[in-house]
Amino acid sequence: MAFHTILRSLHIIFFASWFGTILASLFLLKSLESKLTGNDENTPEFAALLQRFLKLETKVADVAVIGVIITGIILTVFYHGWTIWVVVKSLLIILQIALTISYIIRSVRTLTYPCTKSEYGSWYRLFGISFTMFALVLIVTFFLL
């Protein structure tokens, strides 16, 4: 029983870490918006700061996502079984990863700074995708599992 509690706690910690990295990115991008969309002479420095932050954030998020997947599989195999809702939750996480990566490749990676506010809005649409998917996963987890 103790192993189940530890495993479930790790699963929640990894999920919260993943969510936290996304939230931290949102706050940083909101803070840098005026510097990256204006004609500030320091725009290249702020763009470099953003790029460095995103590299570090990606490393933390990758560990968190892998942790969620591994602990989720272990919990499923040993404790919950492959119920329909576990499969739905798994598919939602896969969908979130796929949507996020494809949107980053299509819309966010192409941004150069300074950019217009409407181009910068691509970041906010990305967060909309991520937070919507997080909400769906949490709804399935807390109300259907």
3-state secondary structure of 141: helix
Mean pLDDT of the chain: 94
For every residue of 58-104, DSSP letters joined together read HHHHHHHHHHHHHHHHHHIIIII-S-HHHHHHHHHHHHHHHHHHHHI
3-state secondary structure of 26: helix
Give the tens place of pLDDT for each residue, 74-127: 999 999 899 998 999 999 999 999 999 999 999 999 999 999 999 999 999 999
Give the tens place of pLDDT for each residue, 57-69: 999 999 999 999 9
3-state secondary structure of 111: coil
Tokens encoding 34: 């005026």
Tokens encoding 25: 């990115």
Reported pTM: 0.90
Q: What is the DSSP letter of 110?
A: T
Q: What is the DSSP letter of 39?
A: -
Contact 141, 75 (CB under 8 A): no
Question: 24-43 burial, b if ≥16 CB within 10 A, otherwise e?
Answer: ebbeebeebbebbbeeeeeb
